[in-house]
Chain A
Amino acid sequence: MKEISCKLLVIGAGPGGYVCAIRAGQLGVDTVIVEAVKAGGTCLNIGCIPSKAVIHAADEYEKLAEMAAGKNPFGITVEKQAIDLAKTVAWKDRIVGRLNTGVAGLLKKAGVKMVAGWARFRDGKTVEVETETGLQVIRAETIVIATGAKPMELPFLPFGGAVISSTEALSLKELPKKLLVIGAGYIGLELGTAYAKLGSQVTVVEALPRILPQYDAELTRPVAKRLDALGIKVLVGAKARGLTREGDALMVETSDGKDERLAFDKILVTVGRRPAMEGWGLEELDLDKDGLFIRIDDQCRTSMRGVFAIGDVTGEPMLAHRAMAQGEMVAEIVAGHRRNWDKRSIPAVCFTDPEIVMAGLSPEEAKKTGRETRIGQFPFTANGRAMTLAGEEGFVRVVARADNNVVLGIQAVGKGVSELSAAFGLAIEMGSRLEDIAGSIHAHPTQSEAFQEAALKALGHALHI
């Protein structure tokens, strides 16, 4: 097969890779992108998007279940709810399919050449791709590694059979009666909550002393409360030891040192994700590593000239929007613009129930900078819109420097707060002060008013509390 030469080659068409390729195409850079599976990567195919579809379906189902049980305050009654999980999955697959096509269309529109197959480095300038029609050699001036990450496996609980990763959990054709979730990070809790709402008996096993360990306890409290209300059993400080000899139960050492046997239909292992470093010829390149990840500088350059890396393969936080921003930046660098990573915040959202948003520094992190801080927190119990949504759990919290009121971080937990992430991110990127937020009219009645009120609170004059 004839060799392809190009200016830019992107390996992996996940959110980082495809954005990089689209932007490069827009800038007139001769670009090729290689993807072994489907455009969109983890996020679109087996991550963000499908999980949100499943979570939404589960929410809808749970609402009806509550209504059928006569437990809603609205006076609505329903005879009996039912769900055909296969249809739910089909709906989700249609969304994914549309987005796959959409991404491919955008790449095409930007003039990016797509090569389907598994890429492997020969050297820093050459990649060979196993395509359906044979080996394709691509030579490129610049190569971007955007190979992403994979669910981490537990050595004593390899994926397969009843032990599943998030990928399989998003395509279950029937509901597991008993679902064990190992790892109470955001992925485990999002999916565990969804299955509990759909009717599974869910138990979460977490080795650390509390759920969502990277978030502060105040933020996760409403989530813990909701897990409890949904009948999800959470074992914190508990270690999964492996299956029993018969393979019918999971051995768990609980926080008080006792062994417990947990029966299951499925075990969902969500103990983290590791960078996808194998199979694409990393060994041919002499790239510096940063722990498990590829080391990059503030322009996403690796230790090899002309080789960039973006996305999950470069480290935490492993979030699609970080990868996209990196991809965009790298494309512009390749096109000759001066760019470097200067983002102030990468907002993170947990689609738990209720949702959690974090942007910028937590109060704890802000304190570690050695500065005096000023914190304002406003509860949704004092927000009219939250009441009308029957979702008064949670709050918005703003952390600012005490000397000049520049906002350092914003966190929120509550129903639907994921959409507030836009305001939070913008406030931090703009270098807003508390007065800027407090002085912007926030539409009434919306939950966003809690953001303004939190800023006012930090300034010492909240109005509605």
Chain B
Amino acid sequence: MGEHVIKLPDVGEGVAEAELVEWHVNVGDLVREDTVLAAVMTDKATVEIPSPVDGKVSWLGAEIGETVAVGSPLVRLEVEGEGAASEAQAGAAMADGEKEAPLADGTAEEGEDVAAPPKRPQPKAPTAKPAAGAVEAAAKPAPVTAGAPRSEGEKPIAPPAVRLRAKDAGIDLRQVPGTGPAGRITHEDIDVFVARGSRPAPAGLQRRTGEEEIKVVGLRRRIAEKMALAKSRIPHITYVEEVDVTALEELRGKLNAEKRADRAKLTFLPFLMRAMVKAIGEQPAMNSTFDDEAGIIHRHAGIHIGIAAQTPAGLMVPVARHAEARDLWDCAAEVNRLAEAARNGTATREELAGSTITITSLGALGGVVTTPVINHPEVAIIGVNKMMVRPVWDGGQFIPRKMMNLSSSFDHRVVDGWDAAVFVQRIKALLETPALIFVEG
């Protein structure tokens, strides 16, 4: 019997480790060459690890969520079909006698962390573990349901002390949901019932118990880490200003109506991007990243605007690079392309990194105000709220105007409130008189 060890390959330039986000195989699975074994995630990209050979999985080297160093063993394959099969049978036979489930022999011999693999559910793996489990399950009666609703007229189950207490308190136990075994009513249930005002649970609504453990892995973990970092390191100052976009909406409508067929439809974002480019020209400090450990502000020449995008996997921030070198139509096309790539998971590492300032927009969901979290280590983020028609006093009467709020956050360590306000006011002026966006000089 031969063994083939698959190590975590180099999954990207400068990447030393990757997080295991998914196993595509279980111990005992037969795999062919090119069968996807696992998915690992680097900074922003997810990489699938294919098998280079045919064989049978004998060991999985990490748990989901674990970080694996490049070059460390990820999977072991038994690569001699005949020998592997007989080995597995021996294992199963042993299990019958011992009621103990030896996992793949390789693990024990390796003396590595063998506790990890057995914890994973292995529904299909023909190892001894599930076999022994099945024997046990057969001997056991069907699982018992707790807290099932009582049927009509059924007496509530409660110990005498609970019954007495209920009576003294004038509580009808039939109306008290029981959370104990088999729906037994406990003293705590009475406490809850009393706290709730001794009202019976609304008909048809049942209390749910238990909890589901969801491991925070992959993108979610990255988001969590990034948010925690941003919020713990950066003292945010959030500034909200209202923008009259009536003129801009008129222009946008006109441009969209007359646009060439090969051009992307203009949304609000390209206008904002161009306005930001213009405003940054006057306040380059906003297009910075702050290395607070080194105590250095990197002021960037190129304006790389991150566009926060909701994807099925979670929040991602693809980057429109060099916005300063893109015209309105180019910005629109780039935003569309990046959003699409982020959503279908084809965005590259490069496309998901390197922003110098970020826009966050909830689109139509927008809301009135948001408190955007700065995309660390940047120093500014512009949040777009929902556009709506609002009455505006023009000095003589109320007139309907298309209004929109911008909620923007700044790193107050390096951006003073005054400068932040000036920046937003500049953007506001540009957006309210869109011609200014396009006037050079």
B167 within 8 A of A: yes
| CB <8 Å contact, A431 and B167 | no
Interface residues on B, range: 20 to 34
| CB <8 Å contact, A374 and B141 | yes
Known interface pairs A340-B167, A403-B144; A436-B181 also in contact (CB < 8 Å): yes
B139 within 8 A of A: yes
Residue of B nearest to A344 (CB): B155
| CB <8 Å contact, B159 and A430 | yes
Known interface pairs A338-B167, A338-B168, A431-B159; A405-B139 also in contact (CB < 8 Å): no
Residue of B nearest to A343 (CB): B160
* Binary CB contact string for chain A from 227 to 245 against chain B (1 if under 8 A, 0 otherwise): 0000000000000000000
* Binary CB contact string for chain B from 236 to 280 against chain A (1 if under 8 A, 0 otherwise): 000000000000000000000000000000000000000000000
List, sorted by A's number, 21 A–B pairs whose CB atoms are closer than 8 Å. Answer: A340-B167, A342-B163, A344-B155, A402-B142, A403-B145, A404-B146, A404-B181, A404-B183, A405-B141, A405-B182, A406-B182, A429-B159, A429-B160, A430-B159, A430-B160, A431-B180, A431-B184, A435-B144, A459-B140, A459-B141, A461-B140
The interface residues of chain B lying within 8 Å CB-to-CB of A404 are: 144-146, 148, 181-183
A225 within 8 A of B: no
The interface residues of chain A lying within 8 Å CB-to-CB of B141 are: 374, 402, 405, 459-460
| CB <8 Å contact, A460 and B159 | no
Residue of A nearest to B167 (CB): A338
Q: A331 CB to closest chain B CB, in angstroms? A: 14
| CB <8 Å contact, B144 and A337 | no
Give the CA-CA distance A403 to B142 in the complex, in Å.
Answer: 8
Give the CA-CA distance A405 to B142 in the complex, in Å.
Answer: 10
* Binary CB contact string for chain A from 425 to 465 against chain B (1 if under 8 A, 0 otherwise): 00001110101100000000000000000000001110000
* B53-86, CB < 8 A from A: none
Give the CA-CA distance A231 to B160 in the complex, in Å.
Answer: 45
Give the CA-CA distance A429 to B160 in the complex, in Å.
Answer: 6
The interface residues of chain A lying within 8 Å CB-to-CB of B146 are: 404
**Apart from A404-B148, A431-B159, what are 19 other A-B pairs with CB-CB below 8 Å?**
A337-B167, A338-B168, A338-B170, A342-B163, A344-B155, A374-B141, A404-B144, A404-B146, A405-B144, A406-B157, A431-B180, A431-B182, A431-B184, A433-B181, A436-B181, A459-B140, A460-B140, A460-B141, A461-B140
Residue of B nearest to A431 (CB): B157
Partner of B168, one of A337, A340, A405, A459: A337
| CB <8 Å contact, B182 and A339 | no
| CB <8 Å contact, A433 and B182 | yes
The interface residues of chain B lying within 8 Å CB-to-CB of A342 are: 163, 167
B315 within 8 A of A: no
The interface residues of chain A lying within 8 Å CB-to-CB of B163 are: 342
Residue of A nearest to B170 (CB): A338
The interface residues of chain B lying within 8 Å CB-to-CB of A339 are: 167
Q: Pick from A338, A406, A431, A460 the residue with the most CB of B within 10 Å.
A: A431
| CB <8 Å contact, B182 and A460 | no
8 smallest CB-CB distances across A and B, nearest first, come from: A431-B157, A404-B182, A430-B159, A338-B167, A431-B184, A406-B182, A429-B160, A404-B144
The interface residues of chain B lying within 8 Å CB-to-CB of A402 are: 141-142
B158 within 8 A of A: yes
Interface residues of A (CB under 8 A from B): 337-340, 342, 344, 374, 401-406, 429-431, 433, 435-436, 459-461
Residue of A nearest to B169 (CB): A338
Q: Pick from A401, A404, A405 the residue with the most CB of B within 10 Å.
A: A404
The interface residues of chain B lying within 8 Å CB-to-CB of A406 are: 157, 182
The interface residues of chain B lying within 8 Å CB-to-CB of A460 are: 139-141
Q: B21 CB to closest chain A CB, in angstroms? A: 39
Give the CA-CA distance A446 to B184 in the complex, in Å.
Answer: 29
* B145-185, CB < 8 A from A: 145-146, 148, 155, 157-160, 163, 167-168, 170, 180-184
| CB <8 Å contact, B168 and A435 | no
Known interface pairs A339-B167, A460-B140, A460-B141; A431-B158 also in contact (CB < 8 Å): yes
Q: B265 CB to closest chain A CB, in angstroms? A: 60
Residue of A nearest to B136 (CB): A461
Q: B429 CB to closest chain A CB, in angstroms? A: 71
Give the CA-CA distance A406 to B163 in the complex, in Å.
Answer: 17
Give the CA-CA distance A461 to B144 in the complex, in Å.
Answer: 16
Give the CA-CA distance A65 to B160 in the complex, in Å.
Answer: 46
| CB <8 Å contact, A461 and B139 | yes
The interface residues of chain A lying within 8 Å CB-to-CB of B148 are: 403-404
| CB <8 Å contact, B167 and A433 | no
Residue of B nearest to A339 (CB): B167
Q: A49 CB to closest chain B CB, in angstroms? A: 26
Residue of A nearest to B141 (CB): A460
Give the CA-CA distance A431 to B144 in the complex, in Å.
Answer: 15
Residue of A nearest to B145 (CB): A404
Give the CA-CA distance A244 to B137 in the complex, in Å.
Answer: 68
The interface residues of chain A lying within 8 Å CB-to-CB of B184 are: 431
Give the CA-CA distance A374 to B144 in the complex, in Å.
Answer: 13
Residue of A nearest to B171 (CB): A338
Give the CA-CA distance A339 to B167 in the complex, in Å.
Answer: 6
Q: A347 CB to closest chain B CB, in angstroms? A: 14
Residue of A nearest to B178 (CB): A431
Give the CA-CA distance A429 to B163 in the complex, in Å.
Answer: 10
The interface residues of chain A lying within 8 Å CB-to-CB of B155 are: 344
Q: B284 CB to closest chain A CB, in angstroms? A: 71
Give the CA-CA distance A433 to B157 in the complex, in Å.
Answer: 11
Q: B181 CB to closest chain A CB, in angstroms? A: 5
Residue of A nearest to B160 (CB): A429
Q: B175 CB to closest chain A CB, in angstroms? A: 15
* B111-163, CB < 8 A from A: 139-142, 144-146, 148, 155, 157-160, 163
Give the CA-CA distance A344 to B158 in the complex, in Å.
Answer: 10
The interface residues of chain A lying within 8 Å CB-to-CB of B145 are: 403-404
The interface residues of chain B lying within 8 Å CB-to-CB of A338 are: 167-168, 170
Give the CA-CA distance A338 to B168 in the complex, in Å.
Answer: 6
| CB <8 Å contact, A433 and B144 | yes
The interface residues of chain B lying within 8 Å CB-to-CB of A344 are: 155
Give the CA-CA distance A435 to B155 in the complex, in Å.
Answer: 20
Q: A436 CB to closest chain B CB, in angstroms? A: 7
Residue of A nearest to B159 (CB): A430
Q: B138 CB to closest chain A CB, in angstroms? A: 9
Give the CA-CA distance A338 to B163 in the complex, in Å.
Answer: 11
The interface residues of chain A lying within 8 Å CB-to-CB of B159 are: 429-431
The interface residues of chain A lying within 8 Å CB-to-CB of B142 are: 402
* B378-429, CB < 8 A from A: none
* Binary CB contact string for chain B from 195 to 211 against chain A (1 if under 8 A, 0 otherwise): 00000000000000000
Give the CA-CA distance A135 to B367 in the complex, in Å.
Answer: 90
Give the CA-CA distance A431 to B168 in the complex, in Å.
Answer: 20
Give the CA-CA distance A342 to B162 in the complex, in Å.
Answer: 12
Residue of A nearest to B163 (CB): A342
Give the CA-CA distance A330 to B140 in the complex, in Å.
Answer: 45
The interface residues of chain A lying within 8 Å CB-to-CB of B183 are: 404
Q: A314 CB to closest chain B CB, in angstroms? A: 21
The interface residues of chain A lying within 8 Å CB-to-CB of B180 are: 431
Give the CA-CA distance A404 to B142 in the complex, in Å.
Answer: 9
Give the CA-CA distance A342 to B164 in the complex, in Å.
Answer: 9
Give the CA-CA distance A435 to B141 in the complex, in Å.
Answer: 12
